[in-house]
A and B are shown apart, each in its own frame.
Chain A
Amino acid sequence: MTDQTPVLRLEDIVKTFPGVRALDGVSFSVLPGEVHALMGENGAGKSTLMKVLGGILQPNEGSIFIEEEPTVMVTPAQAKAKGVVFIHQELSLADELTVAENIWLGELPRKSLGRVNWTKLYDDTNAILKTLNVGFDAKTRVGDLSIANQQMVEIARALTVDPKAVIFDEPTASLTDAEKVVLFDVIADLQSKGVGIIYISHRMEEIFKITDRISVLRDGQYRGTLTTRETNEEDVTKLMIGRSLDLSRNESHHEMGDVALEVRGLSCGKLYQDVSFSVRKGEVLGFYGLVGAGRTEIAETLFGLRDPSAGQILLNGQEVRIKSPIDAIANGISLVPEDRKGQGLVLGMNCRDNMTLPQVDDLTAGPFVSDGAEVAIFDQYRDKLDIRTPGWRQTVGNLSGGNQQKIVIGKWLSMRPEVLIVDEPTRGIDVGSKSEIHNLIRDLAAQGYAVIVISSEMPEVLHVSDRIVAMYSGKVMREFTSEEVTEDSLIQAISGIINGKVA
């Protein structure tokens, strides 16, 4: 393989953002017909690197070579014209337009006078869709497709040109197993045509199944390239996080109290059906499943953001009706949402104001907000949660992800909840702060809070939970205790397999 010309080679790429060196001298190369995995923790610089490759960002230093020719790509269109196709992780689709228009976005076939050549557009699209073996046609409106099918549309974009290199950024995040098979076929097909493929994924089993080599980034720096056949998961992990991953189960157990929250037969239309579970004081209940399994929607229902279509919610044995977050907070339920920056914090406000946001109505001295009371609350939880900030005047947008998450948690703790729901507690948080958040969750449970943790990361769920509920496509598949759970059984449960059979 060494004497082949790489289809794509990066040399000493440096990309800086104000205050951050997002990429620090990254070099690696992709050979024709190779699937090259790019791995690294969140924030390691993978996405930035791919944006540089896709022509969306310009590197500050370093050069890109396509088939050993130095290349400068200033726009995504140029990158595509040069044969570098980028399949985005976040769906980058216009949902009011048809499948065909989305696939050929930016390069619709033309007739005279700038008219769209619809016949060619639909024919070409249907030909591509046929190879992907999907159940929709070129004229379908994208907004009417499921998330998985939208992902397939995104993938179909790679097939519109004769690519030299295709970048897949977490393509399987929302695909079912059957659709994954189709995707892997597409990749194998591209491979056989001599296309170089960069494959970004967090899923080790996929990486080891389909890739030839693995390059690892950490903190914006290139850490090395491994040949997949000669390595194992542990080595890759070590390279990624600089130490072995703590895959241990949650061992510490503490006294549990009465059932704090019980849910019976809860349903919400098509989102999830007949969900029952309970969580006791002092217990951490983990929810594990794929994106779209209905976990977040359950949390939103408990917090009064959705109306359930059936079922009961019982708090301390009493049935309650939660119609809005106001009811939820009054009943002692708090939600640390999935999207910290979008839903959990007001980024432009300072630390103190964010923390006292839900109770600022009560913190008054006469007609005015009482500064002293607010600062007192902030100080209390800053010390309790070990929030590292120069002071309460700091804008939360400038804090690190871990500290931001602690502000959100502090905000709810100051409301003295009984049930704390934490959705994806460590998304976008670096490895060091992750374990801190995990310990914090365990501590909170030990103090008698009932905690529900929703997570898509298996080590996290295994690490913090006393019990784990596995969900698949809106249904509870199985409930595990931390003693009986195994990684295999958990994966089977969230893929809809019960005792070896597909549900």
Chain B
Amino acid sequence: MNKDILLKQGAIWAFIVVELVFFSVAGSYLSVSDSAFMDFDNMLLLLKQSAPIGIIAVGMTIIMINGNIDLSVGATYALSAIVLLDSMTWPFMQDLGDWAIPFAWMFALTTGIVLGAINGLIVWKTGVDAFIVTLGSMLGYRGLVFMYNGEQPTSHLNWTLVDFAEAQFLGLHTATWFLLGATLLLWLLMTRTVHGRNAYAIGNNREAAVNAGIRVGPHFLWNFMLIGFLASLSAVVFYSESGSVNPNDGMLYELWAITAVVLGGTKLTGGYGSIISTLGGVIAIQLLRKGLGHIGADTETVNLVIGLILIAVLFLDRQLNRKGKEELKT
């Protein structure tokens, strides 16, 4: 049985290795530039670029293990970004000088937590499916984004912040550290804590969990607050550097996050999944984008290929999980 688990959780990393080999070999024939694909700096950059979606995706893993889904993360991401940048232009914040930064971060992260809590409370108290609830809040939160500043981008550049975001510690960028930190903490949460194990149980067999006296609602609420927090953390990390947010930023992030989670082997129906594998899924997608760019493919082709690979992977997974020929046809 351990072999099975190894196969399931190792698959995404094997896929990453295949990608690396493929792009290195193909790159040496097709590449427009003459730098190698598996360049160390290139890989570091890749990790940094994985961070915005990656931080959201590890949170999405928890939500999906729990048997829910959150479609509003992209909008939460954008709204938090606006709060982050705009709050630094408020008069009392400007008086604080660089001390405004922790406050701006706090405001942004609180925004995420509150938006997540709203989702969680609605799912808990109304019993409406999370898909519907977060579909609604996705539209609603995006509406708030546009109400804030119309079609105009919101900008504020703080050089201390930019320096922090562009810093490299032990070779890794700040964003990468946040991604790895979030992954580690969430992995510990899901494998070591009662909350995490209960989340697995709820996603796996909700009735059993209820019968065993697990209160499903509060777990939902905590997880939605957590993903709200992570969506705004992702925004904080990214916009500290870029300093300008468009009202359309973060669109489709929810779908990229879900793609990464699913590539990492988490079940859409809940109850099974791994944070570490999601990290693998995030890296695999980013590799694919970068790699296809490296060998000269344009963006449209990249999306087409990622879409095809996703379907192929899930088909393969289904074939592997079939219980042989004796299975009931459906």
Contact = CB atoms under 8 A, between A and B. Distances in A.
A105 B194 contact: no
A97 B213 contact: no
A94 B200 contact: yes
B329 A92 contact: no
A132 interface: no
Contacts of B271: 94, 96
B197 A97 contact: yes
Contacts of A270: 326
B325 A269 contact: yes
A306 B326 contact: yes
B214 interface: yes
Given A94-B205, A97-B197, A305 B329 contact: yes
A304 B214 CA distance: 41
A307 B325 contact: yes
Most buried by B among A95, A101, A115, A268: A115
Contact of A75 (B193, B201, B213): B213
Interface in B281-330: 324-329
Contacts of B208: 92-94, 102, 105
Contacts of A304: 329
Contacts of B328: 300, 305-306
Contacts of A86: 211
Contacts of B207: 92
B213 A80 contact: yes
A77 B213 contact: yes
A110 B192 CA distance: 10
A258 to B, nearest CB: 30
Most chain B CB atoms below 10 A, which of A76, A86, A110: A76
Contact of B1 (A78, A93, A114, A141): A141
A107 B204 contact: no
A416 interface: no
B7 interface: no
Contacts of B252: none
A110 B194 contact: yes
Interface string B195-237: 1011011001101111111110000000000000000000000
A460 to B, nearest CB: 25
Nearest to A272: B326
B124 interface: no
Contacts of B215: 75
Interface string B233-277: 000000000000000000000000000000000000001100000
A241 interface: no
B325 A106 contact: no
B209 A324 contact: no
B111 to A, nearest CB: 26
A74 B200 CA distance: 24
B216 to A, nearest CB: 11
Interface residues of A, number: 40
Contacts of A106: 198, 201, 209, 212-214
Given A269-B324, A269-B326, A271-B326, A96 B204 contact: yes
A114 B194 contact: yes
A11 interface: no
A306 B327 CA distance: 6
A61 interface: no
Given A141-B1, A306-B326, A306-B329, A97 B193 contact: no
A314 B8 CA distance: 42
B282 to A, nearest CB: 23
Most A CB within 10 A of own CB, among B208, B211, B324, B328: B211
B325 A76 contact: no
A86 B210 CA distance: 13
B169 to A, nearest CB: 26
A108 B195 CA distance: 10
Contact of B193 (A114, A268, A300): A114
A76 B211 contact: yes
Contacts, number: 96
A106 B206 CA distance: 12
Contacts of B192: 115-116
A88 interface: yes
A365 interface: no
Interface in B103-144: none
A306 B197 CA distance: 36
Given A105-B208, A144-B1, A97 B326 contact: no
B213 A94 contact: no
A175 interface: no
A75 B214 CA distance: 9
Nearest to B323: A269
Nearest to A118: B192
A387 to B, nearest CB: 29
Nearest to A140: B1
Contacts of A115: 192-194
B201 A101 contact: yes
A271 to B, nearest CB: 5
A305 B213 CA distance: 38
Nearest to B196: A116
B202 to A, nearest CB: 8
A309 interface: yes
A113 interface: yes
A385 interface: no
A76 B201 contact: no
Contact of A324 (B194, B198, B325, B329): B329
Contacts of B204: 94-97
B1 A97 contact: no
B193 A96 contact: no
Nearest to B327: A306
A324 B1 CA distance: 32
A116 B205 contact: no
B265 to A, nearest CB: 12
B209 A94 contact: yes
A56 interface: yes
Given A97-B197, A141-B1, A105 B209 contact: yes
Nearest to B204: A94
B320 to A, nearest CB: 15
A88 B329 CA distance: 29
Contact of A92 (B1, B195, B211, B272): B211
Contacts of A77: 212-214
A105 B325 contact: no
B198 to A, nearest CB: 7
B327 A97 contact: no
Interface in A56-95: 56, 75-78, 80, 86, 88, 92-95
Interface string A39-61: 00000000000000010100000
Nearest to B330: A305
A246 B204 CA distance: 44
A95 B205 contact: yes
Contacts of B198: 106, 108
Interface in A91-143: 92-97, 101-102, 105-108, 110, 113-116, 141
A94 B214 CA distance: 13
Contact of B214 (A105, A116, A271): A105
Q: Which 5 A-B pairs have the closest CB atoms?
A: A77-B213, A106-B212, A269-B326, A94-B204, A105-B212
10 contacts: A54-B211, A76-B213, A88-B211, A94-B208, A101-B197, A102-B208, A107-B213, A110-B194, A116-B193, A305-B328
Interface of B: 1, 192-195, 197-198, 200-201, 204-205, 207-215, 271-272, 324-329
Given A101-B201, A106-B201, 6 more contacts: A88-B211, A92-B208, A94-B208, A106-B214, A115-B194, A269-B324
